[in-house]
Amino acid sequence: MFQRPSCLQGRRQRNGAGEDWSAFPVRQLFVLALCRICEPIAFMSIFPYVYRMVESFHVTDNDGKIALYAGMITSSFTFAEFSAGMFWGRMSDRIGRKPVLIMGLVGTAISMVVFGFAPNLATAMIARALGGLLNGNIGVLQTTVAEIVTVKEHQPRAYSIMPFVWCLGSIIGPALGGVLAQPCENYPSFFARNTLFDRFPFLLPNLVCITVLVCGVVVGFLFLEETHPEKKHRRDPGLELGHWLVSQCCGSRVQLPDDSDVSAEEAKYFVYGDVPPDYECAESTPRMSSVADRPADADLEGQKRPAPKAFTRQVILTIVAYGILA
C-alpha cells in the first residue's frame, strides 16, 4: 500500500536540503534495464558475421560490393527505427509506455526469426528493416526513465543507467554473434553437417538473441509498471501476475494497492513523493500550506528568473565525448 511521506521528507524534497536515496526506484530501473539490454544484444550480434552472411548469398564476387551490402543490412535497422520513432512516441502517449516497450521487443524478436532464416540479401534487409520499424523503444525508454525518477537529485544517476546498459549489450551482442555463427564449421563435434544449422549457418546466434528478447518480454510484462500519468492507475493483469508469482516464490503474500481506496489526486502525491496540501503534520505547524495558497511570484521577489542555460559544461563534455567516439 502507499505510505504517506513524513513532513521532514516532504520538506527535504521541496527545499533540496538533503537527498533521500531510499526513494530511488532501484527495482523499476532494474526491470527497465533488463528490457533495454535486449536491444543492443540483438542489434550488435550481426556485426561479426554480416560480411560472411552476404558472401554466402553469392550476390557478387567483388569484396567492395560485399562490404557495401553488409553496411546496407546493418544500417537498415537504424534507419527504419529512426523513421518510426515519432510514431511510436505518439503511440506511447495513447496506449501507454509499457505496451509500446513490449511490442518493440516482440517486433525485434520477429525480425530476428526472419533474419536467421534469410536465404538471400533482400530477405535479410527486409528483416532488419522490419525490426527497426517495429521497435521505437529509444525515445520511449528515455520518457519512461523521466517519469519513473521524479526527484531531481536522482536524475543524473538514473539517466546514466541506460547508456551503461547499452554499452554492456554492445559487448555481449558481438561476442554472441562471433562465437555462435557458422556452428557446423566452428564446432563440428556438436553440430553435424546436413542439418538445419548447416543450411542456415547464421541461425544459431539469432535463436539465442530471440531467447534473450523473450526473457525481456516476460520480465517487462510481469514486473514493469506503467508510468504514463493518465494510464498508470489502470488495472495491469501482467503486473498482478508478477506480484502473485513473487508472493508464491517468497512464501508471503504481496498486498497490491487498490485504486479504489486511493483517489487520483492523492495518488499523484504518493507517486511523486510529495506531501498533499491537506496533509496534517505532527510538528508545530498545524498544516502545510498549499502551493495554490501562495502568490505566484512569492519565490521571485520581483526578480526575473534567468533563462536556463542549455550548453553547460557537462553537456559540452558529453557532446565532445560522443564526437570522439564517433
For the chain, what are the domain ranges? Answer: 24-255
Q: Largest Cα–Cα distance of the chain, in whole Å?
A: 84
CATH fold, domain 24-255, is Growth Hormone; Chain: A; (1.20.1250)
Phi-psi region of 251 (alpha: psi -120 to 50; beta: other; left: phi over 0): left
| CA 287/CA 280 separation, integer angstroms | 5
With a cut of 60, say whether residue 12 has pLDDT above it.
Answer: no
Quote the pLDDT of residue 305: 64
For the segment 8-17, the average pLDDT, to the nearest whole number, is 46
Phi, psi of 120 (to 5 degrees): -150, 175
Tell me the C-alpha distance between 229 and 147, whole Å: 8
Contact indicator for 116, 245 with CB cutoff of 8 Å: no
- Which residue, 28, 19, 18, is CA-closest to 271? 28
What's the mean per-residue pLDDT of the chain?
Answer: 79
What DSSP assignment string belongs to 165-228? Answer: HHHHHHHHHHHHHHHHSSHHHH-TTTS-SSSHHHHSTTHHHHHHHHHHHHHHHHHHHHHPPP--
| Residue 233, C-alpha cell as written in the block | 492507475
Q: What pLDDT, in 10s, does the model give residues 89-117?
A: 999 999 999 999 999 999 999 999 999 99
Per-residue pLDDT band for 20 (boundaries 50, 70, 90) equals low
- For residue 280, report the phi and psi dihedrals to the nearest 5 degrees: -80, 125
**Tens digits of per-residue pLDDT, 37-56?**
988 998 899 999 999 999 99
Query: Does the structure show a pLDDT above 70 at 266?
Result: no
Share of the chain above pLDDT 70, in %: 75
The span from the CA of 192 to the CA of 55, in Å, is 22
pLDDT at 272 over 70: no
Per-residue pLDDT at 22 exceeds 60: yes
Q: Of residues 232 and 255, which shows the higher confidence score?
A: 232
When comparing pLDDT for 262 and 187, which is higher? 187
Residue 278 has what pLDDT?
42
Mean pLDDT of 7-22: 51
